[in-house]
Structure 1
Amino acid sequence: MIHAGRKTVHAVAWNYASFALSKGVVLITMAVLTRLLPPETFGIVSLATIIISYFSLLQDLGLGSALIQQRNDVQEAANTVYAANLVIGILFFLFTFAIAPAVAVFFRAPAVEPMLRILALTFLIDPFGSVHIALLQRDLAFRKKLIPDLGRLLIKAVVTIVLAVKGFGAWSLIIGQLSSSLSGVILARIALRQKLRMRIKKPQLGRLLKFSIPFMAFNLINALVSNIEFIVIGRTLGDAALGIYSITYRIVDLLIMNVWVVLAGAMFPALATIQHQPHLLRRAFLSVTQYVQVFIVPISLGLIITAEPIVKVLLGAQWLGAIPILRLLPVAFLIFSIGTTAGDIYKAIGRPALLLKMGILHIMILIPLLLVGVQYQLVGVALSLIATAFLVKIVHLFVIVRVIGVTVSELMRALRPAFVGGTALTIVTTPLVYSIGDQPPVVQLLVAGVTGAAAYFGTLWLLEKEVVIKGANTILDAVRR
């Protein structure tokens, strides 16, 4: 039997492969669309997707996570979640359809009303594939999960770009999202050919809800945390500012935040299998924390150092206002990423209420800082996120040490390789980028990327060779399995 920590990293390797391919498609699509559509278009669509994104995080009431955590009567639980998800989806569709006019009035944007009502159709579509995705995660079948993950994005990219070229404007983004939902359901059912029945067993639903209700409450808070700055920007700074912020945020989200989101998708089901073995949970947590930071640190620093050429190459001249934001947001995301995967430990051991408490603390700190920061435009918003990340992380690390039993010295040893390599990357790459500032942006990115990678991984090889070898062997083993 593969050691729990190693098994978890195997799952992470495949889940990250899915992430890397999928987000590569998203970045290419973004590079095309930002040259076809102005910031205002992305801003107006973001106003509609804010609501959809918020409800989407709540759509299954945490039942998907409860299903992953379930150890017995899995088929019966899957049938119950399948039926419950459809009922919930219908309710969310009706509610979203009804509030669309009020949302349009709140944002002073009449175009939001029809967009929101069309996007609400995703609540009726997604339930037909969500349980299949949860079961794939539960079984750590991330090779199969790659089919819907990548396929839906390829279809969305083609549909959106074709419609944008034909002059559909904002509607190209709306219709592209619908095509993503529909194709995702079809491909999920192809990847997992398991028959599900819409049959709710009340005792089973009660057991699932006992786990999922605290998790759902956390999702409620987390959804607010994830969307509150978009609401504030859209209400106070307008469509163009929201368009710039939303695209910049998406870049950082794709390259940094999704690393730990992808990790959570692989780590939680793996940890659920060893939920009664604390020493294995601690070891798995430290192992995965180490390798997540090995990924996140160089990406974060790379975005900060090369923000200007990235914007010029990826987005184009009309998006230069994104440069200062791209230099600040990675700082907040990097701080948030440290030890964040402890949340999956809390879920695995059946203590999701801890996530709720952390979420409440987060929102209590974020809202007042954000209301002050928005007075200083987008830069002020980004700085408020950095301050929030710092304050929340202090408390978060204290909870990790107390609950999981990981010592501060163990955590520092896990973080050491990434930050040693990151120091070398910063020292070498920062002056280099400024010295070649007169070169074309593509050249700047290539030179900085190659030099930064050489400095980072070269330093790891010299000072942390064991980490590099172990990580490479784990990834190779995962690919062979």
Structure 2
Amino acid sequence: MLAHKTAAASLLVVATRMLTRFGDLITLLVLAYELKPADFGLVALASSLIFITESIFELPLVEVVLRVDVLERSHLDTAFTLSALRGLGVMTILLALAWPFAHFYHDPRLMKLIAVLSLSPVTRGLQSPKLISYIKEMSFWRSSVIELVGKVMALIIAVTIAILTKSYWAIAAGTVAAPVTMAIASFVLAPYRPLLCLTQWRYFAGFLGWTSLAQIIRSITWQSDTMLLGRIAGHLELGLFTTANNLSSIPLLAVLQPIYRPLLASLSSVKHDPERLRRAYQLISIAAITIGLPALIGESLLAKPLIQVLLGPHWLAAVPMMRYLALSIIPCLFALPLGPMVMALNQAHYFPRRNAFELCVKLPILIVAGIKFGVPGIIAARVISEIAVAIYAFILARRLIGLGVFQQIIGPWRSYVSAALMTAGVMFLGAQLQADFAHIRPIFLLASLASAGAVIYVASLTLLWLGCGRPPGIEHVAYQNIAKLARLPLAKPVSRGRDMA
């Protein structure tokens, strides 16, 4: 029953996030045709300050409340009060930093941009906390509707302003419109009478200490690329880099990140059963690789036709950036289940350790390689640091739940083989198409190669799964759903001892 609820909740959240990311993609495409790359670079630079400041004071209130055994009104009131205070505090700090930040980057336009963008953290902190009680019950449809409404409103406002004004203010307006709309919609779908209260502060205090420290380190690590590139290069190169980065991150953000809370709820329910916890963690890790690996490799292989079709020829300078940025995200897939597991086991003190480790690895390489080589050096620093974090995640998972490092690495072997076959097939077909049809349109090249890659990957994965005796995993879940729709006989998964693949 729990597995069914978790799967259903994850499916709903993933579907919602895919729709919202599709909306983001449409917005990006329209803005890319209406605005210049330098406009994206300017807003990205201002947004980096917003992101760092907001992340430093991030309060994972939802995750904390989800761990409460008996949820009371005072927990929701305290969460709302802390969230509102945090939003006002972030806005105040941003307004104070606007002038020195603009002066440091020699662009006075940043002052007004930061002032407008500072409205986002305020409104994000004013959503109805009543939503948490529904999430705790594994009911996510309200959150999904709220997110969709916010994204639609952001799309409408951003696109309208971009078409009418051709100004970078379109990006800023869309950024602010989403949280404002979501805050209003949250009180409609999850009615709540605001009451300022801090009676449950002690419950939040200890946990938030570790996570806040982790967020400070993580935010600096995440935005160090943008901050450095904004200083050593112009808005044009920064705009190309951030746009390529946003496109390459779509698979991770749209499919994998949204399932964090369902996974947290699921892992929390089996945290007292070590064997079930190990099995659940391994299956989640394999599923993340199975879904994310082909998407990221495919993005890298098809970077040029993707850029040509989605953004147009004047964005071709972003092709090599996107090609390697997509590959740099692959190590993140291995560390994805670690966060929910650490939260479920109440081991939050590992977050700042992990993030400090990543920062210590990345920052020296970033400064030296970034200044000397520019964007290639920045991407190299990211790849090295992400690999280091994946290794850290392997070792920490072994320590916490006893799952061997080799087991974790070899677990998704079917995905590795299938991805390798997909890569070879796409590269061969791409070379043939471009040799035989030298002037093939990018959209046809993209459609042909993407379709071929998907067929090769799914077919290879299915054959390997069948050859292994249909073990538990994402392939089994997919087969069961297809069998139900096609009225085929359902298959029972065959487990072979410790073989979790």
TM-score, normalized by length of structure 2?
0.90
Which amino acid is 1:173 matched to? Answer: I
2:465 — aligned with what?
A: 464
The higher relative CO (CA closer than 8 Å, separation ≥ 6) is in 1
Task: Give the C-alpha shift of residue 53 in structure 1.
Answer: 1.5
Identity across matched positions, percent: 19
Counterpart mapping for 1:286-297 below 5 A: 286-297=282-293
Which residue of 2 is the match for residue 237 of structure 1?
A: 233
Relative to structure 1, the CA distance from residue 197 to residue 477 in structure 2 (aligned partners, 3 Å threshold; closer, same or farther) is: farther
Query: 1:162-208: CA deviations, max 9, x gaps?
Result: 1001115011111111111111112222332344522220xx21111
Aligned partners of 2:362 and 2:385 also within 8 Å? yes
Letter in 2 for 1:225: T
3-state DSSP of counterpart to 1:275: coil
Residue of structure 1 in register with 2:33 after alignment: 35
Partner residue, 1:14: 12
Greater displacement, 367-376 / 240-249: 367-376
Q: Which amino acid aligns with 1:331?
A: L
Residue 185 of structure 1 is matched in structure 2 by 183
Counterpart position of 2:408 = 411
Q: Aligned-pair distance for 1:314?
A: 0.9
- Structure 1's 51 and 145: CA in aligned 2 closer, same or farther, altered over 3 A? same
- Tell whether 2:388 aligns with 1:376: no
Alignment deviations for residues 34-72 of structure 1 (CA, whole Å, 9 cap, x no partner):
010001000111111111122333444233321122222
Q: Is the 8 A contact 1:307 1:327 kept in 2?
A: yes
For residue 412 of structure 2, give the secondary structure of its aligned residue in structure 1: helix
- Give the 3-state SS of the residue equivalent to 2:231 in structure 1: helix
Partners in 2 of 1:191 and 1:16 — Cα distance?
Answer: 20
Deviation at residue 78 of structure 1 after TM alignment: 1.2
Gaps of 5+ in 1: none
CA distance in 1, matches of 2:433, 2:26: 25
SS at match of 1:460: helix
TM-superposed CA distance for 1:28, in Å, is 1.5
The Cα offsets for residues 369-409 of structure 1, whole Å up to 9 and x where unpaired, read as: 11122221212211221122222322221121121211235
Instruction: Return the alpha-carbon distance in structure 1 between the equivalents of residues 179 and 83 of structure 2.
Output: 15
Q: How does 1:375-394 map to 2 (within 5 A)?
A: 375-394=372-391
Question: Shift of the alpha carbon at 1:419?
Answer: 1.4
Q: Classify the secondary structure of the residue corresponding to 2:2.
A: coil
Shift of the 450–234 alpha-carbon distance from structure 1 to 2, 3 Å rule, reads same
Deviation track 1:129-181 (CA, whole Å, cap 9, x = no partner) reads 16345444433222222101211111111100110011150111111111111
Larger radius of gyration: 2
Unaligned ranges ≥5, structure 2: 486-501
Q: Which of these residues, 414, 420, 425, is aligned with residue 423 of structure 1?
A: 420
CA RMSD of aligned residues (A): 2.1
SS in 2 for 1:338: helix
8 Å CA contact 1:79, 1:196 repeated in 2: yes
1:182 alignment partner AA: V
Cα distance in structure 2, aligned partners of 1:27 and 1:207: 40
1:367 aligned partner: 363
* SS of corresponding position for 1:471: helix
130 and 261 in structure 1: CA distance in 2 versus 1, 3 angstrom threshold: farther
Partner of 2:392: 395
- In the TM superposition, residue 257 of structure 1 has moved relative to its aligned partner by 4.5
**Residues 298-342 of structure 1, C-alpha deviation per residue, up to 9 Å, x if partnerless?**
101101111100011111111111111111112211012113211
The 2-side partners of 1:52 and 1:477 are apart by 47
The structure with the largest helix share of the pair is 1
| Aligned residue number for residue 112 of structure 2 | 114
The structural deviation recorded for 1:413 is: 5.0
Deviates more, 1:357-366 or 1:385-394: 385-394
Going from structure 1 to structure 2, the CA distance change for 1:371 and 1:60 (only over 3 Å counts) comes to: closer
Does the 8 A contact of 1:96 with 1:120 survive in 2?
Answer: yes
- How many residues matched? 475
Query: Secondary structure, in 3 states, of the residue corresponding to 2:165?
Result: coil
Matched, 1:317 2:313: yes
Contact persistence 1:215–1:355 (CA under 8 A): yes
Corresponding position of 2:81: 83
- Aligned equivalents of 1:59, 1:139: Cα separation in 2: 28
2:441 matched residue in structure 1: 440
Following superposition, the deviation at residue 290 of structure 1 comes to 1.6
Residues 220 and 258 of structure 1, relative CA distance in 2, 3 Å threshold = farther
- Relative distance call for 1:190 and 1:275 in structure 2 (3 A) is farther
